[in-house]
Structure 1
Amino acid sequence: MTKLEEKTLHSEEIFSGKIISLHLQDVELPNGKHAKREIIKHPGAVAILAITDDNKIVMVEQYRKALERTIVEIPAGKLEKDEEPALCARRELEEETGYECDSLELLTSFYTSPGFADEIVHVYIAKGLTKKENAADLDEDEFVELEELTLEEAEQYVKEQKIYDAKTIFAVQYLQLQEALKNK
């Protein structure tokens, strides 16, 4: 046990849903006192920064009920049980956009909200895109509109808060950094 570690004394699952579960934990703090933690368990997800041959970023506009509005995002989706992230990324890219890719490279992985959730997102960059004639279908409860944006348009969407989620802002900033390094 490290000097900052919180020891779990008891954990109870108080909700189990289609995607997440919520656990209430009693923990012992590093100073010996006790506290409660509410922890969301999530299977993990992928996000795909897909770049077309004419240097457009493939995005989807989707209604997000938690926000009560639509936002524009890079394609993403949840990992199925025991699914490899790269396979999930290829599946989600096809389902949400109709594209398949020649190359897929892991950019990074990050925890979305480590203060209360264990969700990890694996971000891939996809190139060599080809539009499939018979693409896989979206999930039955999923509705998206495809958009292809230049980096400048994506930057404007961030300013206008049309792009407003961390994974997509990361993707835009990654491309800005690559552009800056190229122009150095």
Structure 2
Amino acid sequence: MTSSTGTTDSHLREELVKSEELFKGNFLHARRDTIRLPDGHNATREYVLHPGAVVVIPLLDDGRVVLERQFRYPVGHVMVEFPAGKIDAGEDPFVCGRRELLEETGYTAREWAHAGAMHLAVAYSTEIIHIYFARGLSLGERQLDHGEFLDVFTATPDELSGWCRDGTVTDAKTLTCTLWLQNVLSGAWALDWKALPPEGSAG
């Protein structure tokens, strides 16, 4: 592999020696690997295998964005977040994004754009989150999963930016999405918007 500076990364790479399973639950899977460092010594790496997720930045016609408030048990707080969800086995990230937006907020969108991806916790997790924008929103009925409780609300981009600044928003994916939102709205970062075919049409 060659880095962005044109140099090779062989002096940084770690090689797998052996791997063992630590835990396998309904959602998360933890492993401990013995690896060989670039200097030839061995070390261990413990990490969580994650199926990946999608986060959606829903844009309303009046310029506001759709957000959620949800209690997150591991941190013990109600968090302000963009709609998001785990990718099911074999599921396309775009299909996951459409499903999660409808299930959690009740919104469907006429146009979608894939913005990019983020690694949530590179030191201890394989999780990658795919970032999508959605616009041309229509509100219908939410289809929350059993045991899922959350509030849906709207805010201006300036309000969201202020919450990121003052610590109201600390969720990593929402902070990253706010950076994307600011750059898209300013015109600094372009998106390739794609319209969905009308319901019931071919394709």
Measure how far apart 1:6 and its partner are: 1.3
Residue 11 of structure 1 corresponds to which residue in structure 2? 19
Q: 2:5 corresponds to which residue? A: none
Q: Kindly provide the CA deviation profile for residues 54-76 of structure 1, in whole angstroms up to 9, marking residues without a partner as x.
A: 11110000111121111110000
Please give the alpha-carbon distance, in whole angstroms, between the structure 2 residues aligned to 1:33 and 1:122: 35
Q: Deviations over 1:140-176 (max 9, x none)?
A: 2221100100112112221332211121112222222
Q: Where do 5+ consecutive residues of structure 1 fail to align? A: none
**1-side partners of 2:131 and 2:178: how far apart?**
12
Instruction: Give the alignment's Cα RMSD to 1 decimal.
Output: 1.5
Structure 1 residue aligned with 2:132:
124
Identity %: 34
CA distance in 2, matches of 1:92, 1:24: 32
Counterpart-to-counterpart distance in 1, 2:42 and 2:93: 37
Residue 170 of structure 1 corresponds to: 176
Q: Deviations over 1:14-67 (max 9, x none)?
A: 111122110011111111101010011000000000001111110000111121
The Cα offsets for residues 86-124 of structure 1, whole Å up to 9 and x where unpaired, read as 000000000110001111111011211111111000000
Match of residue 109 from structure 2: 101
Q: Which has the higher strand share?
A: 1
SS of 2:158's partner is: helix
TM-score by length of 2: 0.84
Gaps of 5+ in 2: 2-9, 189-203
- Partner of 2:63, secondary structure, is coil
* 1:145-156 aligned within 5 A: 145-156=151-162
Opposite residue 43 of structure 1, the aligned amino acid is P
Instruction: Give the TM-score normalised by the residue count of structure 1.
Output: 0.92
CA distance in structure 2 between the aligned counterparts of 1:8 and 1:156, rounded to whole angstroms: 44
Alignment of 1:82-97 (within 5 A): 82-97=90-105
